[in-house]
Amino acid sequence: MSSGFDAHEPVLTIGLAAQRIGTSVPTLRMYEAEGLIIPFRTSSGRRLYSYEDLRRFQCIRRLLQKEGLNMAGIRRLISLIPCWKVQPKETGLPCRQGTCAAQEQERDPCWVVMRRENLRSDEECRNCPVYRRALACTGEMKLLYREVLAEVKDSKFREVVERHLMPLGEE
């Protein structure tokens, strides 16, 4: 029996999560409505958050308050992550360039598109490496872009991603 701490385990109610990070419940709901966070839902529909989610909330706040991005800017930034490159490598999910529903749009992160099109469940998206790493604010987002750029042959795609990376600066 393992007594190890799992930062991905949803254990905090929305009220406790808001209290822990010093914000309001409506703010957390707004992040969810904007597609920036996927709360775990119990069978009765109650939201639960993990400590990983708390870090995600803090990252969103930092991008909003310190980096000058708005919600649309954050969504746009994470929508540039080519999930069709990251997912097969890390999970073996059948998401390939040319067949990925998220590839053709530039406004929403892949998990928003996949859930909207009923291609993935909330739980599948919560556990996806793209979702888990995209707003870690620990250099993970930049690392995701760099890993992908190392393999990119399409110069136009590379140019777009590099242009969006420039304002990020080093973490």
Counting the structural domains of the chain, the total is 1
Report yes or no on whether pTM surpasses 0.85: no
Domain for residue 1, yes or no?
no
Identify whether 56 is part of a domain: yes
Assigned domain for 38 exists: yes
Give the tens place of pLDDT for each residue, 87-131: 555 555 555 545 566 666 667 777 777 777 777 777 777 777 777
Q: Establish if 102 belongs to a structural domain.
A: yes
* CA dist list (Å): 143 to 68, 105, 116, 133: 21, 22, 27, 9
> C-alpha distances in angstroms, 64 versus 70, 73, 143, 152?
6, 9, 21, 30
Q: Answer yes or no: is 2 within a domain.
A: no
Is 4 contained in some domain?
Answer: no
Q: Which two tokens stand for residue 108?
A: 């929403």
Q: Residue 140: count other Cβ atoms within 10 Å of its Cβ.
A: 16
The answer to whether residue 68 is domain-embedded is yes
Residue 72 domain-assigned (yes or no): yes
Which residues span the domain enclosing 72? 12-168
- pLDDT level of residue 46 (50, 70, 90 thresholds): very high
